[in-house]
Amino acid sequence: MKTAVITLAHGRHAHLAGQQQALRASTLRPGDYVVVAMDDPAIAAPHPDVSGTVLRVDSAGGNLPLARARNLGAETALDRGAELLVFLDVDCLPAPDLLSGYEQAARDPAGAGRLLCGPVTYLDPPGTGGYDLSGLARLDNPHPARPAPEPGEVVPDENPDLFWSLSFAVTAETWQRIGGFCEDYTGYGGEDTDFARLARRSGVGLAWVGAARAYHQWHPTEDPPVQHVADIVRNANLFYERWGAWPMGGWLTAFRERGLIRGGTGAERCELADGITGPREPSAAVP
């Protein structure tokens, strides 16, 4: 089975280099490595030990085209012969057994034909020497909001709202069955939840793969992500128009409590509060 790793990048060059270093230490090397550089001409070709390519994508109206970039990465990998697509966030360091874990799960009756998701540990800031890749297993502490089976376990799941795009895998056949990400989403938030809804509509559930562990490299952030409030409002409205439900409920609640937005509950449209500016709303596509 030819496995391709697909990573989107905009900045985070040191994190991207760390990911490539971790892939070089993998027990199973990727058959291909597709880096999709969004508005970032400084991203160079992957390390020679990790065979792959870099694609260039421009933003749409200043908003990073995450959905379009994932689709382009997948289409390119498939054209290059990939049979299993592994999507890794640029911040994620794969454990040595991540790729082999996803491959085995794709053949396992509990995981075959499903979106395969692995547990992710959020790391503390590294020391001056960076992360010790040989010691990542000692830091294993998967995010509590998602299932985290033990290595060797593959656990089916039918809740699409638990899907996340930090680390997941899908066979070529299942990707084509789902049809990819909805490219009406731009900027941060919502497109991965939409993708999981498209999967469910296509009869594709989730499965959690204990062996496919990843480690999210630390970077400064805000909780809730107020720097992305305009993107989240725009994409939340798009999601509601497509599915009749509100995504990212915790973030929307936190934004309302801070006076940054109004609406986003029931049938009330989500809007930025007075004085908060953001890009215009996109039109919704019928799923």
Structural contact between residues 255 and 230, judged by C-beta atoms closer than 8 angstroms: no
Q: Are strands 154-157 and 206-209 parallel, antiparallel or unpaired?
A: antiparallel
Q: Which alpha helices (DSSP H) does the chain contain, by range? A: 13-24, 66-79, 98-107, 172-178, 191-201, 229-243, 249-257
CA dihedral 102, 105, 110, 111 (to 10 degrees): 50
Instruction: Tell me the per-residue pLDDT of 169-198, one tens digit each, with 9 for 90 and over.
Output: 999 999 999 999 999 999 999 999 999 999
Q: Which residues, other chains included, contact 225 with Cβ-Cβ below 8 Å and sequence gap of 6+?
A: 188, 189, 232, 251
Structural contact between residues 31 and 23, judged by C-beta atoms closer than 8 angstroms: no
Collapse the DSSP code of 28 into the 3-class scheme (helix H, G, I; strand E, B; otherwise coil) and give the result. coil
Integer Cα distance of 1 and 112 in angstroms: 14
CATH of segment(s) 3-216: 3.90.550.10
Q: Which of 42, 50, 61, 62 is nearest to 20 (CA)?
A: 50
Cα distances (angstroms) measured from residue 180 to each of 77, 144, 177? 13, 28, 8
Q: Where are the domains of the chain?
A: 3-216, 226-272
Integer Cα distance of 70 and 53 in angstroms: 14
Cα distances (angstroms) measured from residue 158 to each of 91, 118, 161, 247, 272? 27, 15, 9, 17, 33
Q: Digits of tens for pLDDT over the chain (287 positions)?
A: 999 999 999 999 999 999 999 999 999 999 999 999 999 999 998 888 888 999 999 987 788 999 999 999 999 999 999 999 999 999 999 999 999 999 999 999 999 999 999 999 999 999 888 899 999 999 999 999 999 999 999 999 999 999 989 999 999 999 999 999 999 999 999 999 999 999 999 999 999 999 999 999 999 888 899 999 999 999 999 999 999 999 999 999 999 999 999 999 999 999 999 877 654 444 334 33
Collapse the DSSP code of 217 into the 3-class scheme (helix H, G, I; strand E, B; otherwise coil) and give the result. coil
The 8 Å CB, 24+ separation contacts for 251-257 are 251/189, 251/224, 251/225, 254/224, 255/224, 255/226, 255/229
Cα distances (angstroms) measured from residue 142 to each of 66, 98, 136, 138? 24, 14, 12, 12
Instruction: Tell me the per-residue pLDDT of 23-56, one tens digit each, with 9 for 90 and over.
Output: 999 999 999 999 999 999 999 988 888 889 999 9
